[in-house]
Chain A
């Protein structure tokens, strides 16, 4: 029983990790309606920045967030403004896909060029200390991540609901033409949202870096999982992404333990495919329609 609880705890902690990455992704998709294939690379860049600042600058990894978050905000904003915005009117769907895929490839290889294929370990600075909570044990770092994920979700929801800018963002997502008629600058909203989504990942990377080694391809793994979480939770729904992430974290941990560690990914992606095919609107279903419109 204790083992089972430990596996569950591991799953939840993992879920918190996935949630931080997934929330930014679902924000971007829900508002800007773009699938950002380079999202994982945003995480990778953030992790390397954290690595650099903490090893060369001697800062505690968590404190690097003060620099990493704004840096990634800018990165996201620029991506939207320079890469996505010119393509938003494009008739062909494949154009946007290739744009972010190109960005992803360029970033991965840039990291390879600069850092090489070796992993980069951010100093753990005490976050790998074990903490006992009843029958289970977790790392302090994992608790920080989980807590940050919850804070992020709550904070974003509050921002969206109660601030003027948040409402403008929601309005643009619900009805872009009407939003423009209200006097909302929709292009600015998109740039802001992309930046915000990237900033969320930035926060995540500062927290994740001490727990996981950074490598050029670390983003690919996380982004695929993040996609699964967001689709499961219903694209565009922030609480959906959070709960989707918890579910996937549990599935990952449980299948790793009971089915086999090397088949975990197959189970997760298998579930992903089932959802895409059978219930594309996800558990919390939004108005997003994933199928072709004739």
Chain B
């Protein structure tokens, strides 16, 4: 479904990603793990069109999306739930969710999607008219995920969903991610929290200093020494 091939990307004169490649097939849950500064966020932002690759290509459902703008990529069915929530602070939860359904194909089914999403996040239903900035970190993350789902994406990408959240909330977040995947959405997750994400995923890639150094099934990675070394240096 998604294929990233030999991509170099960065900001200004700085090169963050070097020759990275990745594949995600329909219905899979794939994860990218790596230490901070490895380039995981840049990777997702490149796929989402916020960063244009200098080299290489990104293909989605057979179509070359390398040079497309972010809003066009959303149209094609890729939605990124960015790092750090990135909600619209002065809008209510409802307004934030509705913004997720901005594009036409999602807008037409807006009401139905909202019902489905609220069924998945009952707590949000109670907070619909509250300002997004007044929610707790965990609740904001739920809103961010729900907002992403409002776009009815074919590929849903998560950038560090567990960032800054208490462990019990992290467990809840991953529960939601698993349910989303079970419902048939293809998922790509970037995470620092290796255990949870490898448990939820089918396959994984390890990113180090801007390069994809390892890729395997999630089970294999879970017991892989290099993975432990990449984080703890042992």
State the B residues within 8 Å of A (CB): 48-50, 69-71, 74-75, 79-80, 82, 86-91, 95, 98-100, 102-103, 107, 147, 151
Partner of B88, one of A170, A180, A185, A186: A170
Does A167 sit at the interface, judged by CB under 8 A? yes
Contact indicator B48/A174 (Cβ below 8 Å):
no
| Main SS class of interface, A | helix
User: Contact at A171–B70, with CB atoms within 8 Å?
Assistant: no
A174 close to B74 (CB less than 8 A): no
- Which residues on B sit within 8 Å (CB–CB) of A177? 50, 82, 86
**Can you give 14 contacting A-B residue pairs, CB < 8 Å?**
A164-B107, A168-B99, A168-B102, A171-B99, A174-B89, A174-B90, A177-B86, A178-B86, A180-B70, A182-B147, A182-B151, A183-B74, A184-B102, A186-B71
Closest CB in chain B relative to A11 CB, distance in Å: 31
A175 touches B87 (CB 8 A): yes
Residues of chain B contacted by A183 (CB below 8 angstroms): 70-71, 74-75, 102-103, 151
Let me know if A277 is at the binding interface, CB within 8 A: no
Cβ-based interface call for A114 (8 A): no
How long is the Cα–Cα vector from A171 to B102 in the complex, in angstroms? 11
Would you call A181 an interface residue if the criterion is a C-beta within 8 Å of the partner chain's C-beta atoms? yes
Interfacial residues of chain A within 165-205, with CB under 8 A of chain B in the complex: 167-168, 170-171, 174-175, 177-186
Q: Which of A167, A186, A287 contacts B95 (CB 8 A)?
A: A167
- Known contacts A181-B48, A181-B82, A182-B100, A175 near B88 by CB under 8 Å: yes
A180 touches B91 (CB 8 A): no
Which chain B residues border A182 with CB–CB below 8 Å?
74, 99-100, 102-103, 147, 151
Measured in the bound complex, the distance between the Cα atoms of B107 and A168 in whole Å is 13
Q: Considering the chains assembled together, what is the distance between the CA atoms of A241 and B69 in angstroms?
A: 34
Report the bound CA distance from A275 to B119 in whole Å.
49
Question: Which one of A179, A180, A182 has the greatest number of beta carbons of chain B within 10 Å?
Answer: A182
In the complex, chain B residues whose CB is within 8 Å of the CB of A184: 71, 102
Q: How many CB-defined contacts (below 8 Å) exist between A and B?
A: 63
Which residue, B49, B70, B82, B147, has most C-beta atoms of chain A within 10 A? B70
Q: When chains A and B are docked, how far (Å) is the Cα of A188 from the Cα of B181?
A: 34
CB nearest to B76 among chain A residues = A183
Residues in B neighbouring A180, C-beta threshold 8 A: 49-50, 70-71
Cβ contact of A170, chosen from B74, B91, B147, cutoff 8 A: B91
Residues of A within 8 A of B (CB): 164, 167-168, 170-171, 174-175, 177-186, 287
- Which residues of A lie under 8 Å from residue B86 when comparing CB positions? 175, 177-178, 181
How far does the alpha carbon of A171 sit from the alpha carbon of B100 in the complex, in Å? Answer: 11
Contact across chains for A181 and B80 when beta carbons are under 8 A apart: yes
Q: Considering the chains assembled together, what is the distance between the CA atoms of A170 and B89 in angstroms?
A: 11
Known contacts A167-B95, A171-B88, A175-B88: A185-B69 contact under CB 8 Å: yes
Contact for A181 among B74, B75, B91, B95, CB less than 8 A: B74
17 additional contacts (CB under 8 A) given A177-B86, A181-B79, A183-B74: A168-B102, A170-B90, A171-B99, A175-B86, A175-B88, A178-B82, A178-B86, A178-B87, A181-B50, A181-B80, A181-B82, A181-B86, A183-B75, A183-B151, A184-B102, A186-B71, A287-B89
Nearest-neighbour CB distance to chain A for B193, whole angstroms, equals 22
Residues of chain A with a CB closer than 8 A to B82's CB: 177-178, 181
A183 to B102, CA, bound (A): 7
Question: What residue in chain B is nearest A187 (Cβ atoms)?
Answer: B69
Enumerate chain A residues within 8 angstroms of B74, measured Cβ to Cβ: 181-183
State A111–B20 Cα separation when bound (angstroms): 57
Q: Which of A164, A168, A181, A287 contacts B70 (CB 8 A)?
A: A181
- Measured in the bound complex, the distance between the Cα atoms of B92 and A174 in whole Å is 12
Which 7 pairs of residues, A with B, have the shortest CB-CB distance? Answer: A183-B74, A178-B86, A183-B103, A180-B70, A174-B88, A182-B102, A185-B71
User: Interface centre among A164, A183, A287, by most B CB within 10 Å?
Assistant: A183
A residues in contact with B89, CB < 8 Å: 174-175, 287
* Least CB distance, B145 to chain A, in whole angstroms: 13
Nearest-Cβ distance from residue B126 to partner chain A, whole angstroms: 23
Q: Which residues of B contact A174 (CB under 8 A)?
A: 88-91
Q: Which residues of A lie under 8 Å from residue B100 when comparing CB positions?
A: 182
- Residues of A with C-beta under 8 A to B151: 182-183
B-chain residues with CB within 8 Å of residue A171 when the two chains form the complex: 88, 91, 99
